[in-house]
Amino acid sequence: MKKMPTVWLWLLPVVCGLLFVALWYGVRRWSGLQSWILPTPGEIVAAAWQERARLLAAAGDTAVGALGGFLLAATLGFGTALGLGASRTLRASLWPWLLVLQMTPVIVLTPIIVLWAGPGLPGIVTITWLISFFPIVANMTQGLLSTDMNHVALFRMANASRLQELWLLRVPAAMPFYLAGLRIAATLAPIGAIFGEYMVGNSSGGTGGLGFLVYSYNTQIKIPALFATALTSCLLGFIFVAAVAWLNWAVLHKWHDSFERDDH
């Protein structure tokens, strides 16, 4: 594929964004909707600035919940996938139930989560974990099973033990898959945390996070500020995704074909 000039890579999203904002102003103008139904981007940015202290503190709270759930999912997902990748029996026994876990609407589980994990942060971390766990397990397991058969044959010829095959061959080979799972989870974790705050949050020990602000701004009909929480949550999501993209680069750039290298 011919390479696109770098300037276009920067310019295209900006142009698209500007068009979208223009469209937004247009809709607002022609629909005659009031600011408390559809605020303009300008009003949202102004509200974000006005509420910056509260939004920032809330984003910090949400980040803690999101990071907690994300890391829990990243570690447990890795471990679970190892088990599933290593044993056909385990895979057959557990896979349908993992699907059940993923397909169960979290709303159904919130009462149990509140009772077992407790309201506030523990419940929020649990919900975030539930939401971001599956893509990690699914990707990592697929990765472990997708190892190049030539390499597997080589390991077996060299009398490598199953553990060696798993740890020295399959796990490294599955890294791109694992990281793809992490990337999906990174976009889900902040949303999961906000949803968690909205479902099981309480305001003890801090601001209650962005999910709490959604309640607060909604009942107070501060709609531009409400949209500003969405803006804040997007920024938080971008930070998460950027962190995983960096991790992806750190782990893969020296050997994986998705990165350009000098030794090609």
Partner 1 sequence: MTTNRHGSRRFFGDIPSRLFAAGLLLLLAGCGKKAEAPPAPGLVKVRLQTDWFPQPEHGGYYQAVAKGYYAAEGLDVEILPGGPNVQVMAAVAMGRTEFGMTNGDDAIVAVARGVPIRMIGAEMQRDPQGLIYHTAHPLHSLRDLEGRTLMAGAGSTWLQVVQKKLGVKFNQLPLVGDMARFMNDQTFVQQCFVTNEPYFARQRGASVGALLIASDSYEPYRVMLTSPPFLAAHPDVVAGFVRASIRGWVDYLTGDPAPANRLIAALRPDLTPEFMAYSIKAMNDYRLVSGDPAKGEFTGQLTAARLEKQIKLLQEIGVLDKPVAVSDVATFAFIPPQPPSP
CB 232 within 8 Å of CB 57: no
Smaller CB separation from partner 1, 64 or 94? 64
Single-letter residue type at 140: M
Cβ–Cβ contacts within 10 Å for residue 49, how many? 10
Those residues with Cβ within 8 angstroms of residue 12's Cβ, 6 or more apart along the chain or in another chain: none
Smaller CB separation from partner 1, 13 or 156? 156
Residue 187 touches partner 1, criterion: CB under 8 A: no
Residue 106 touches partner 1, criterion: CB under 8 A: no
Shortest Å distance, C-beta 19 to partner 1: 26
Tokens of 48: 């974000």
For residues 92 and 94, what is the distance between their CA atoms, to the nearest angstrom? 6
Residue 60 touches partner 1, criterion: CB under 8 A: no
Task: Using CB under 8 A, count the residues that bind partner 1.
Answer: 59
Q: Which string of b and e fits 55-88 if b means at least 16 CB within 10 Å?
A: beebbebbbbbbbbbbebbbeebbebbbebbbee
CB 157 within 8 Å of CB 95: no
Shortest Å distance, C-beta 178 to partner 1: 11
For residues 170 and 191, what is the distance between their CA atoms, to the nearest angstrom? 32
To which residue do tokens 């793809």 refer? 180
Binders of partner 1 among 36-55, rule CB under 8 A?
36-37, 54
Binding piece for partner 1, criterion CB under 8 A, among 8-16, 63-71, 93-101, 134-142: 63-71
Site string for partner 1, 3-32 (x = CB under 8 A): ------------------------------
For residues 151 and 154, what is the distance between their CA atoms, to the nearest angstrom? 5
Query: Which one of 176, 181, 190, 237 is in contact with partner 1 (CB under 8 A)?
Result: 176
Smaller CB separation from partner 1, 242 or 250? 250
Residue 110 touches partner 1, criterion: CB under 8 A: yes
For residues 192 and 211, what is the distance between their CA atoms, to the nearest angstrom? 10
Residue 148 touches partner 1, criterion: CB under 8 A: yes
Residue 214 touches partner 1, criterion: CB under 8 A: yes
Structural element, H or E, at residue 115: helix 106-117
Residues of the shown chain interacting with partner 1 in the complex, contacts defined by CB under 8 A: 36-37, 54, 64-65, 67-68, 71-72, 75, 110-111, 114-115, 119-122, 125, 146-148, 151, 167-169, 171-173, 175-176, 198-205, 207-208, 212-216, 218-221, 223, 226, 247, 250-251, 254-257
